[in-house]
Amino acid sequence: QPALQPLIKTGTSVSTCCWRNRRFFVQSFSVSYRKFVDFALEETRRHTHLVPSPLQEKFSSINSKDGKGVLHMLSFQAAKIRLLRSLSIETETMQVLDFTVFPKLEYDVPIFCANFFTSGRSNIIVLDLNPLHDIINRQDYKEKYFSSLIPLGQKYAELLPWGGKLTSESIQFFSPIVLWTKFPSSPENYDILYSAFQDYYKAWLELIGKAVEETNASQISFNREAQHRYLTWRAEKDPGQGLLKKLVGDTLAKELLRNFLFNGVDELGSKMFLDYFPEFGCEDGTVNKLHSIVGKSYENRPWDARGEFIGS
């Protein structure tokens, strides 16, 4: 078994199985996203003083209903950070990281967003600095935060190619440097993902570090509504919902979504989902359960190498 040692060191487990009386080595690449969270917390603490969020007491860890998995939650706040929160899920067959950082409303800095879903050999990845304001029509906002980051995005867009069609509505929440990708599990791919996560997080910390506090009340309320709209979308339509419900049941999943993951959805504004997204309205006034009204699109990356939007 000469290859065992190095494989184990890179976080890979190797087991054997029998098939028609022959023994095979089966590699199952099980990733743990713990080091991603450790990195982010350590790096944040180099810039600011993190204080545990009041949410931490209520949300720390939950066992899945079948007792085979565990959900870990962490939450903090800081001088410029309304909420830094992390949900990681580890079961026998699946690893999930949902790590998001929301700036305080005095800052129009993008929302840091890492969503990694790993199930066996496949991975669904979104890593982005989600723009708070309209990136497609507001050139000034795009220039303020993204012009300097286009080369970074370009580097990783080559290493982690576009994942194909996605829910069309999601594009409005993504930036020109979004990494939307799917890849087969391998130590090499996780190394690239870890390095993208580190670089994107360092870039975000620099943006928030340099950000100047807004004092104009109408600008702050503009930021508040933009954050509320974002939270409203994700609390209602996040693709992870179905799985979350399966793992912990409907009631707890809803509680996690509204009070932990997308905390602020019930506090930062009084508008409802249909006020922001009226196209989802059904005749009887309820919200259409579909993930998307438009359907899936954007087969290819809808931004060019200079970060110009080329989708429709």
The residues of the shown chain that bind ligand BLA, judged by CB under 6 A, are: 87, 89, 96, 98, 113, 115, 117, 124, 126, 166-167, 170, 173, 234, 239-240, 243-244, 291, 296
Name the strand (E) or helix (H) holding 244: helix 241-248
Cβ distance to ligand BLA smaller for residue 85 or 104:
85
Measured distance CA(276)–CA(298) in Å, rounded: 22
| Minimum distance of ligand BLA from residue 2's CB (angstroms) | 37
Which CB, 10 or 63, lies closer to ligand BLA? 63
Q: How far is the CB of 189 from ligand BLA (least distance, A)?
A: 17
**CA–CA distance, 124 with 101 (Å, rounded to integer):** 20
Instruction: Please state the closest distance from residue 260 (CB atom) to ligand BLA, in A.
Output: 11
Contact of 104 with 212, CB cutoff 8 Å: no
Q: How far is CA 20 from CA 14, 24, 125, in A?
A: 19, 10, 37
Treating both helix axes as pointing N-terminal to C-terminal, what angle do 187-210 and 150-159 enclose, rounded to 10 degrees?
Answer: 170
> Could you tell me the smallest distance in angstroms from the CB atom of residue 280 to ligand BLA?
14
Q: How far is the CB of 272 from ligand BLA (least distance, A)?
A: 18
Q: 12 vs 115, which CB is nearer to ligand BLA?
A: 115
Phi first, then psi, for residue 224 (nearest 5°) are: -60, -45
Closest distance between ligand BLA and the C-beta of residue 195, in Å? 20
Region at 164 (left for phi over 0; alpha for psi -120 to 50; beta for the rest): left
Min separation Cβ 100 and ligand BLA, Å: 8
Residue nearest to ligand BLA (CB): 240
Cβ proximity to ligand BLA, 115 vs 227, nearer residue? 115
For residue 203, the Cα-to-chain-centroid distance in whole angstroms is 16
Rounded-to-10 torsion of CA 97, 101, 102, 107: -150
Pick the closer one to ligand BLA by CB: 214 or 255.
255
Q: Which two tokens stand for residue 19?
A: 């098939």
Sign of CA dihedral 102, 41, 70, 119: positive
Q: Which of 128, 159, 171, 160 is nearest to 297 (CA)?
A: 171
3-state DSSP assignment of residue 17: strand
| Closest CB to ligand BLA among residues 29, 116 | 116
Nearest approach, Cβ of residue 209 and ligand BLA (Å): 24
Residue 1 to residue 23: CA distance in whole angstroms:
13
Name the minimum Å distance from CB 219 to ligand BLA: 23
Judged by beta carbon, residue 171 or residue 203, the one nearer ligand BLA is 171
The residue (of 14 and 136) whose beta carbon lies closer to ligand BLA is 136
CA angle 33–35–39, rounded 5-degree value: 125
Residue 49 or 65 having the CB closest to ligand BLA? 65
